[in-house]
Amino acid sequence: MLSTLRAALALSPVRVFMFFASMMGLACILLIPPGQMPDERNHFARIVQIAQGGFVGIKLDAAQAGGYLPANFPSEAELLNSLRFHAETKVDMNELSALAARPWDHRQSWASFGNTVIYAPITYLPGAVVTFIGRHTRATIIQTSIMVHVINTVISIALCTLAIALARRGVLYLMLLASLPMVMALNASCSQDGLIFALALLTASLLTRINTFDPGSTRFWIGIACLFAVLTVSKPPLLLCSLIPLGLFPAREWLGAGRRKYLAVTPFVASIAAFLIWQHFGMTPTKVQFLDGSGTSDSGQVHWVLTHPLSLPMLAYTTLKVNLGHNIHEFIGVLGWLDTLFPAWFYRLVYVTILATLCFCAYPAIRNRALAQNGRTVLVTVLAMLLAVGAVYFSLYVIWTPVGAPIIDGVQGRYFLPIAPFLALLFPLMPRASQLSPSESTQRWAMLGMTAFLCFDLVTLTGVLAARFW
């Protein structure tokens, strides 16, 4: 019996994560009905457009952007609209059956999806490939969307698993982030957000491998530059995270690093170039004013910010005071159209688990200062992450909030998920990849605790989704 327990405790983080992530991903695929994630229809519309070869969208007029899709492509109102914002409502099986039987129409008509048409096609490509296959194998529209959910889930979990396998800092922290219900629900949707998070997790994981004795090869830095470029064109605020490699070496090493210092600059340069290229060819030609007529104005808001700089501290304070608590819940998991909450005890459990995980990951450096990350890396990483968070708030203040409003509108906790993995760079370096602690016995107990949390995570996620929709 003791040998069995010892073998169970010795399970690697990679195997444990892969098992529970697969189960949670399957639960989300099976239990979340079509169209029941934020902007699901518009993300699917962008995927269909890319599958048709429309890598750049179309701007019809000053108020409409999107493209020409099959004439019977469902509107948001047709995607089980009675469920949205009504937590007490369950799936109407007759409505679902009728929707599930709808085939792809060969005729085309205009469809508006202005909030997703501006997104670069890269992270939509897996979904576009299976959509192309679905349309040419007589799958229905809903069957095709489920195929997209499956491929996004598989690729996202695979990338997260790879990240956990390669990481040498903060492995338990990365594992916890990748297991949050919000992440799992995004993975199992048509949204690009699940893949963006997985790519951010992989990027952070690769950066945790950099140290004085292994500064990274030229090919390594080219790969990091490509990853940051993809992240930036997919979510522009992540451009600020590409500054993090500039702080990976102490100042004395930076001055004498030779060619290496130019390699560390490559991610930032590549990110700026990628952003400018997509902005010119893909974003500017299709951008429309969001919420036109409600007091929003991109140029007007920028002008207001520039002429009222002293109002910004109060704007930040008021926004955080009003929305921070709910944004933290959304970061952990508020599913559906932000109408599916978890029990209060579950959020408290996640708070405790996050705090315990951060303490566990930092403890080896507290016990042995020689293991601590260098101060330059800590400073640059924290600063870059804060700038990225600020960029999220600023972008939503510009595009989604009435000019001069005292609170920033439209901020959701999930927007900060791709920024969070880079915090792993602050933790001490482990001797081997995917190692949680220098002590084998400590690692076993940490894995036992994480496995217990993942059991609660899986059961609670499944129960909440089943009770909410079915």
Distances (CA, A) of 443 to 8, 70, 423: 12, 53, 20
Q: What is the pLDDT of residue 16?
A: 95
pLDDT (mean) for 189-210? 96
Q: What is the pLDDT of residue 263?
A: 83
Query: Band of the pLDDT at 5, cuts 50, 70, 90?
Result: very low
Q: What is the pLDDT of residue 4?
A: 44
Query: Residue 45: is its pLDDT beyond 90?
Result: yes
Let me know how many helices (H) and strands (E) the chain has, helices first.
17, 3
Query: Residue 462: is its pLDDT beyond 90?
Result: yes
Percentage of the chain modeled with pLDDT above 70: 95
Which residue type sits at 37? M
Query: Band of the pLDDT at 297, cuts 50, 70, 90?
Result: confident
| Residue 283 contacts residue 118 (beta carbons within 8 Å) | yes
Which residue type sits at 57? G
Range in 60-64, 147-151, 333-337, 340-344 with the lowest mean pLDDT = 60-64
Query: Residue 149: is its pLDDT beyond 90?
Result: yes
Q: What is the pLDDT of residues 345-362, one digit of tens each?
A: 999 999 999 999 999 999
| Residue 123 contacts residue 195 (beta carbons within 8 Å) | yes
Q: What are phi and psi of 67, to 5 degrees?
A: 180, 180
Q: What is the pLDDT of residue 394?
A: 95
Say if strands 108-112 and 58-59 run parallel, antiparallel, or are unpaired: unpaired
Query: Residue 257: is its pLDDT beyond 90?
Result: no
Q: Which of 175, 246, 236 is nearest to 205 (CA)?
A: 175
What is the three-class DSSP state of 70? strand
User: How many angstroms separate the CA atoms of 93 and 412, rounded?
Assistant: 31
Percentage of the chain modeled with pLDDT above 90: 73
User: How many angstroms separate the CA atoms of 160 and 162, rounded?
Assistant: 5
What is the three-class DSSP state of 153? helix
Q: What is the pTM of this model?
A: 0.94
- Map out the domains of the chain as residue ranges: 9-469
Q: What is the pLDDT of residue 250?
A: 63
Query: Band of the pLDDT at 285, cuts 50, 70, 90?
Result: very high
| Residue 116 contacts residue 43 (beta carbons within 8 Å) | yes
CB-facing half-sphere around the CA of 257: CA atoms within 13 A: 24
> First-to-last CA distance in the chain?
41
Q: What is the pLDDT of residue 206?
A: 96
User: How many angstroms separate the CA atoms of 33 and 273, rounded?
Assistant: 39
Instruction: Find which of 93-97, 211-215, 390-394 is predicted with most confidence, using mean pLDDT.
Output: 390-394
pLDDT (mean) for 424-449? 87
Query: Residue 249: is its pLDDT beyond 60?
Result: yes
| Residue 394 contacts residue 401 (beta carbons within 8 Å) | no
Distances (CA, A) of 295 to 89, 284, 402: 33, 21, 5
Q: What is the pLDDT of residue 308?
A: 92
User: How many angstroms separate the CA atoms of 167 and 432, rounded?
Assistant: 9
Query: Residue 107: is its pLDDT beyond 50?
Result: yes
Enter the tokens of residue 385. 């992450």
Question: What DSSP letter does each residue of 302-314 carry, written as one string?
Answer: HHHHHH-GGGHHH
| Residue 172 contacts residue 358 (beta carbons within 8 Å) | no
Q: What is the pLDDT of residue 440?
A: 82
Query: Band of the pLDDT at 54, cuts 50, 70, 90?
Result: very high
Reported residue count of the chain is 470
Q: Mean pLDDT, the chain, as a whole number?
A: 91
pLDDT (mean) for 33-57? 94
Enter the tokens of residue 274. 């990628």
Q: What is the pLDDT of residue 3?
A: 53
Query: Band of the pLDDT at 256, cuts 50, 70, 90?
Result: low
